[in-house]
Structure 1
């Protein structure tokens, strides 16, 4: 186990309230993240929709939240807004695969402590939740390259289009043959 994880586990164990809500409609990602955060000491509640997230906040507003921006039934910002009304001191992070400045500003104005691009791992999330007074966690030791970020985005859109090359190319505003060449290559490092 690395030093960073040990530090987070110590911080989490010292908390009076270790409750955390994970709101994400990507079930495999949500489950992996829930297991990783439980191992670090959090008491995890999972939700898949805005309605489930809002119900979880109504039942017991958590001390922490990891909220996906875009969900099938609406925006995760609605759940963040409700959480901040019920528990203003709660620390929340917004995750998204579709980041832009406007949504980042909206998330921060609603009280998110950070805005992370998917796929974020448990250590990145803990670093954001426990960031210092300047509000910035340390830079990742091995960040994804720009090519890898682009490749991940293309893969996500491709999956959202049910692996339809023509539709994916249209949505990405790219030539179909160019997309086919990119899809045929291995993921960049």
Structure 2
């Protein structure tokens, strides 16, 4: 019996329905696709399957998905990681690439755009720049996500760095801004 010649792909997104649909669509497009909706399941699947490709949501239940990039690359050093987000910004795109992601794409993105991004050699930031200026709430959210990633998801350390009460930070993380 020979191994499956299809490239393995891990989708990490906390939106169960989106995750399931994307896994199914990528499976139909020739990938051996798996889905995880939380960081623990993602690490376990990465350990078990050593994916060649990873689609990682930036916001996983109020936590930064960026903190998963390093552990995922430790298990699959050659994996190509695409950070997919509904909260795109140049700052988070740069952070993602610095951490080891190979691509960054704003939602909504169709399956063809995701596949093109997974195979692209150069990072394209065009999709990361918003067409309209971000609201103050959005700018605050992006800054919090960036500091949270710098502190590897540690909410207490992030709150101290932001000079903010921990409960205030948790409340802000529980209410992401609207996409506009």
* TM-score (normalizing by structure 1): 0.61
Q: Which has the larger Rg?
A: 1
1:34 Cα deviation (Å)?
Answer: 1.1
1:60 Cα deviation (Å)?
Answer: 2.5
Equivalent in the alignment of 1:79: 68
Instruction: Give 1:126's match in structure 2, choosing from 96, 108, 115.
Output: 115
Structure 1 residues 79-117: Cα deviation after superposition (integer angstroms, max 9, x where no partner): 221111122211110011112222111111122111111
2:6–2:30 Cα contact (<8 Å) kept: no
Tell me how far apart the structure 2 counterparts of residues 73 and 51 of structure 1 sit (CA, whole Å): 15
Is residue 2:89 matched to residue 1:89? Answer: no
Between 1 and 2, higher relative CO (CA 8 Å, sep ≥ 6) is seen in: 2
2:43–2:71 Cα contact (<8 Å) kept: yes
Tell me how far apart the structure 2 counterparts of residues 121 and 101 of structure 1 sit (CA, whole Å): 21
- Equivalent runs, 1:82-121 vs 2, <5 Å: 82-121=71-110
1:75 Cα deviation (Å)?
Answer: 2.2
2:58–2:85 Cα contact (<8 Å) kept: yes
* TM-score (normalizing by structure 2): 0.63
Q: Which runs of 5+ in 2 are unaligned?
A: 133-137, 139-174
Tell me how far apart the structure 1 counterparts of residues 5 and 99 of structure 2 sit (CA, whole Å): 24
- The DSSP-based 3-state class of the residue aligned with 2:69 is helix
Tell me how far apart the structure 2 counterparts of residues 19 and 129 of structure 1 sit (CA, whole Å): 12
Is residue 2:43 matched to residue 1:58? Answer: no
1:59 Cα deviation (Å)?
Answer: 2.2
- The DSSP-based 3-state class of the residue aligned with 1:112 is coil
Tell me how far apart the structure 2 counterparts of residues 105 and 135 of structure 1 sit (CA, whole Å): 10
Once superposed, what is the RMSD of the aligned Cα atoms? 3.1
Structure 1 residues 116-153: Cα deviation after superposition (integer angstroms, max 9, x where no partner): 1112111011101112x44559x99xxxx958xxxxx9
Distance 1:134-1:67 versus aligned 2 partners, 3 A rule: closer
The number of aligned residues is 133
